[in-house]
A = this chain, B = another copy of it.
């Protein structure tokens, strides 16, 4: 392991959780990290595995998902590079991952032993504020999505999911539109519905010119029209 690979330090520097970490700490973290590649469809970890590592996505795309007893998948979060995930074990020694992390493309991540990271946080307590910010942000997002799932209709939730993905992708909202590389099944798992129902709404929206679609591809043409659907002002 190359402890001071400058590229690794660069990745770590752009992790939001570590925004106020000292350069020295970034170096230390880089020294603890191991690069791990996972191909499209593979897993960084499975639900129930011992949470011995936390990860920072370096390249590619991945998702955090849960699988229910009867095999249905629920998508909790889509991960993009520089995001930290699987940090649970860094807080609670002996914990198991409550979800699995699956690559949506060929991806690489930095793996850091949970115990090592926990030790570092103990020595550098200000790092815990970054972690707590990450967690409170995540809690708020989960609460919001829980509320949506409990009170809104499928149509609104799918529209909202598209807008959320668009915002997260960081692409400009331009006349050209925002292209999202997700299948109907992906959207269904994000919104708690079925691929059939997602397909029906996408078809309807495409006929209205709000979006265009392709195989594992959705392009938002008129995002503001989707906002109206999400807020239930239209219809």
Contact = CB atoms under 8 A, between A and B. Distances in A.
Given A125-B128, A128-B128, A151-B72, A136 B92 contact: yes
A167 interface: no
B142 A143 contact: yes
B133 A91 contact: yes
A139 interface: yes
Interface hub of A68, A72, A139 (most chain B Cβ within 10 A): A139
Interface residues of A, number: 39
A98 B129 contact: no
Contacts of A173: none
A143 B66 contact: yes
Contact of A132 (B66, B99, B135, B192): B135
Contacts of A138: 139
B132 A128 contact: yes
A133 B74 contact: no
A61 interface: no
Interface in A132-179: 132-133, 135-136, 138-140, 142-147, 149-152
A76 interface: yes
A34 interface: no
A231 interface: yes
A113 interface: no
Nearest to A192: B150
A120 interface: no
Interface in A186-235: 192, 231-232
Nearest to A71: B151
A88 interface: yes
Nearest to A135: B135
Contacts of A151: 68, 70, 72, 74, 192
Contacts of A231: 69
Contacts of A132: 91, 128, 131-132, 135
A217 to B, nearest CB: 24
Interface of A: 66, 68-70, 72, 74, 76, 88, 91-92, 95, 98-99, 122, 125-126, 128-129, 131-133, 135-136, 138-140, 142-147, 149-152, 192, 231-232
